[in-house]
Chains A and B, each alone.
Chain A
Amino acid sequence: MISLAGRDIMHAWGKFVFTGMGLGLLIGVTLSMAGIYRGMVDDGKALLDNSGADLWVVQKDTLGPYAEPSSIYDDVWRAIRGIPGVVQTANVTYLTMQVRQGERDVRTLVTGVTAGAPGTLGWPPYLVAGRQITRGHYEAVADIATHFKLGDRLQIRRNHYTVVGLTRRMVSSGGDPMIFIPLKDAQESQFLKDNDAIRQQRRRTAENPAFNRPQVPGLLDSVIDSQSINPYVNAVLVQLEAGYNAADVADSIRRWKRLTVYTRNQMEEILIGKLIATSAKQIGMFLVILSTVSAAIVAFIIYTLTLGKIREIAVLKLIGTRNRTIAGLIMQQSIALGIIGFVVGKISATLLMAPIFPKHVLLEPLDSVMGFAAVVLICILASLIAIRAALKVDPAEAIGG
Chain B
Amino acid sequence: MGGKGIHIEGLKKRYGKGDTAVDALKGVDMQVEPGEVVGLVGPSGSGKSTLLKCLGAVIEPTAGRMILGNETIYDDGWKVRDLRALRRDKIGFVFQAPYLIPFLNVTDNVALLPMLAGVKNGEARKRAIELLKSLDVESRARAMPSQLSGGEQQRVAIARGLVNRPPVILADEPTAPLDSERALAVIRMLNDMARKFETAIIVVTHDEKIIPTFKRIYHIRDGVTYEEAGEGRNFT
Tell me the A residues contacting B by CB distance below 8 Å: 1-2, 4, 7-8, 10-12, 311-312, 315-322, 325, 394-396, 398-401
Contacts and interface: CB of A to CB of B under 8 A. Distances in A.
A249 B39 CA distance: 101
B172 A311 contact: no
Interface stretch (B2-10, B44-52, B191-199, B208-216): B44-52
Given A319-B116, A400-B49, A2 B99 contact: no
Interface stretch (B25-33, B71-79, B101-109): B101-109
A401 B99 contact: no
30 contacts: A1-B116, A2-B111, A2-B115, A2-B121, A4-B101, A4-B103, A4-B104, A7-B108, A8-B103, A11-B103, A11-B144, A12-B103, A312-B102, A315-B101, A316-B101, A318-B93, A319-B88, A319-B112, A320-B85, A320-B87, A320-B88, A321-B116, A322-B84, A395-B58, A398-B99, A400-B49, A401-B49, A401-B50, A401-B52, A401-B172
B39 to A, nearest CB: 17
Interface residues of B, number: 33
Interface string B180-216: 0000000000000000000000000000000000000
A401 B48 contact: yes
Contact of A399 (B112, B121, B172): B172
Contact of B56 (A2, A8, A315, A318): A318
Give the secondary structure class of B's interface. helix
B116 A399 contact: no
A312 B121 CA distance: 21
B148 interface: no
A2 B104 contact: yes
A312 B144 CA distance: 15
A398 B93 CA distance: 10
A312 B101 CA distance: 6
B222 interface: no
Contacts, number: 83
A399 B89 contact: no
B28 to A, nearest CB: 15
A10 to B, nearest CB: 7
Contacts of A12: 103
Q: Is the interface of A mostly helix, strand, loop or mixed?
A: helix
Interface string B119-150: 00100000000000000000000001000000
Interface of B: 48-50, 52-53, 56, 58-59, 84-89, 93, 95-96, 99, 101-104, 108, 111-113, 115-117, 121, 144, 160, 172
Closest A-B pairs by Cβ, 8 of them = A320-B88, A401-B49, A11-B103, A8-B103, A396-B58, A315-B99, A320-B87, A7-B103
A311 B117 CA distance: 21
A60 B117 CA distance: 79
B96 A400 contact: yes
Nearest to A323: B84
Contact of A7 (B86, B87, B104, B172): B104
A351 to B, nearest CB: 33
Contacts of B89: 320
B124 to A, nearest CB: 9
Contacts of B144: 11
Given A11-B102, A311-B99, A318-B87, A1 B115 contact: yes
A396 B59 contact: yes
Given A2-B112, A312-B102, A315-B95, 16 more contacts: A2-B121, A11-B103, A312-B99, A318-B58, A318-B87, A319-B112, A319-B113, A320-B84, A320-B85, A321-B84, A396-B53, A396-B58, A399-B49, A399-B53, A399-B56, A401-B52
B103 to A, nearest CB: 4
Contacts of A4: 101, 103-104
A10 B103 contact: yes
Contacts of B88: 319-321
Nearest to B105: A7
A400 B58 contact: no
Nearest to A312: B101
A161 B59 CA distance: 90
B121 A1 contact: yes
A309 B167 CA distance: 29
B113 A320 contact: yes
Contacts of A7: 103-104, 108
A8 B88 CA distance: 22
Contacts of A8: 103
A4 B52 CA distance: 28
A180 to B, nearest CB: 64
